[in-house]
Amino acid sequence: MNKKLTSFLLALMLLGLTSCGSIPLDFNIGHHIAVSSGSIRLSEEELRLIALQYKTENESYYKPLLGIDFWQMEVTDDMTYEEYIREYYVFSECRALLCLLKEAEDQGITLSRTEEEAADTAAEAYYKDLTEDEISFTGAGLSDIRSLFSSYMLAGKTVEKLIEGKRLEVSDEESRVADFFLIRLDSKEKAQEIHDRVTAGESFRSVATENSLDEKIDYTASREELLPAVAEIVFSMSNGEISNIIAYNGSYFIIYLENSYDTLLSLNHKMNLLAERRFEGWEDVYSAFISKNELKRDNRMFEELSLSEDGDFPYVDMFSYFDE
């Protein structure tokens, strides 16, 4: 599958969805349904495996910087970061996964014996790398992991079918992320004075810190994140170059380009752009699924899903196991 499943996960991360009803039903012996649409179901264990992915990924980045309490930071007036990830990432992914499994059922798409064996092999390797706390958090056994891995592999295969023949390329130029410093001033005269100083050799950072109207002077951005007038200048400059004075909406800007191509962030942006295009390839299928199929979930199960649970939770990327 290579990067197909990784792109699928990124595509799911773009979805923002809402809550549905509650269904405390038996799934199999010892299992309960977390989310379902007709005969397509995800168990509580599968839900928690998906949640573990987001829990450990977020903690690997934020915990060293902010501590475990970052989960309780407010992102809206009535929602913590934990609630936000649980609702708009974990549940959203469950919903999109159900959509693709339903589409696979409707189109008669199945896994070959070789693909099933690959999913089983990936599941076994992943299971061996989980800590005791991670296994306890999910409540999952090897059979649950095999089931989820097979579902993801089938979903990925379905996406490939749905986007067949559609344009997915993302060029390096489209995905480029640049690092630059920016000075904003409120008069043309002041801007000319500052421009003369920095082009004469004064430290751009120091002059910007002392004179810019904005406290923030250093930026990392892709083309679409910038005002068109600024983006046109930034992405035509070379490393170490200082722009001419840019007049826009009553302000005057001077830019120093530090790095025209941030390699790591550009690669990440490229993957996200690719994910967007992949999702556009099956967005009509997703929209039809939402409009025609009743989606049920066990709200109690979601409310009791604590992403902030402490313990031994190193980041274990389940999708990397499909690449091995």
Token pair, residue 159, equals 């996406």
pLDDT of 5 strictly over 70? no
Instruction: Determine the pLDDT at residue 268.
Output: 81
pLDDT of 303 strictly over 80? yes
Residue that wins the pLDDT comparison between 12 and 62: 62
pLDDT of 308 strictly over 90? yes
CA dihedral 49, 54, 60, 65 (to 10 degrees): -140
For 146-166, what is the mean pLDDT? Answer: 91
Instruction: Determine the pLDDT at residue 14.
Output: 42
In angstroms, rounded to a whole number, what is the distance separating the alpha carbons of residues 64 and 61? 7
In angstroms, rounded to a whole number, what is the distance separating the alpha carbons of residues 291 and 138? 31
Instruction: Determine the pLDDT at residue 239.
Output: 96
Q: Look up the pTM and report it.
A: 0.72
Token pair, residue 110, equals 């199945």
pLDDT of 127 strictly over 90? yes
pLDDT of 7 strictly over 70? no
pLDDT tens column, 225-278: 888 888 889 999 999 999 999 998 899 999 999 999 988 888 888 877 887 888
pLDDT of 168 strictly over 80? no
Q: How confident is the model at residue 320 (pLDDT cuts 50, 70, 90)?
A: confident
For 130-142, what is the mean pLDDT? Answer: 97
pLDDT of 161 strictly over 50? yes
The CATH architecture to which 177-260 belongs is: Roll (3.10)
CA-closest candidate to residue 13, choices 99, 92, 84: 92
In this predicted structure, which of 62-71, 144-153, 252-261 has the lowest mean pLDDT?
Answer: 62-71
Instruction: Determine the pLDDT at residue 109.
Output: 96
Which residues does residue 297 pair with via DSSP β-bridges, in sequence order? 35
pLDDT of 298 strictly over 80? yes
Q: What percent of the chain has pLDDT over 70?
A: 90
Q: How confident is the model at residue 315 (pLDDT cuts 50, 70, 90)?
A: very high
pLDDT of 17 strictly over 70? no
Q: How confident is the model at residue 324 (pLDDT cuts 50, 70, 90)?
A: low
CA-closest candidate to residue 4, choices 159, 184, 196, 161: 159
Domain ranges of the chain: 4-168+265-322, 177-260
pLDDT of 145 strictly over 80? yes
pLDDT tens column, 82-93: 999 999 889 989
The secondary element (H helix, E strand) that includes residue 153 is: helix 142-162
In this predicted structure, which of 3-7, 121-125, 233-237 has the lowest mean pLDDT?
Answer: 3-7
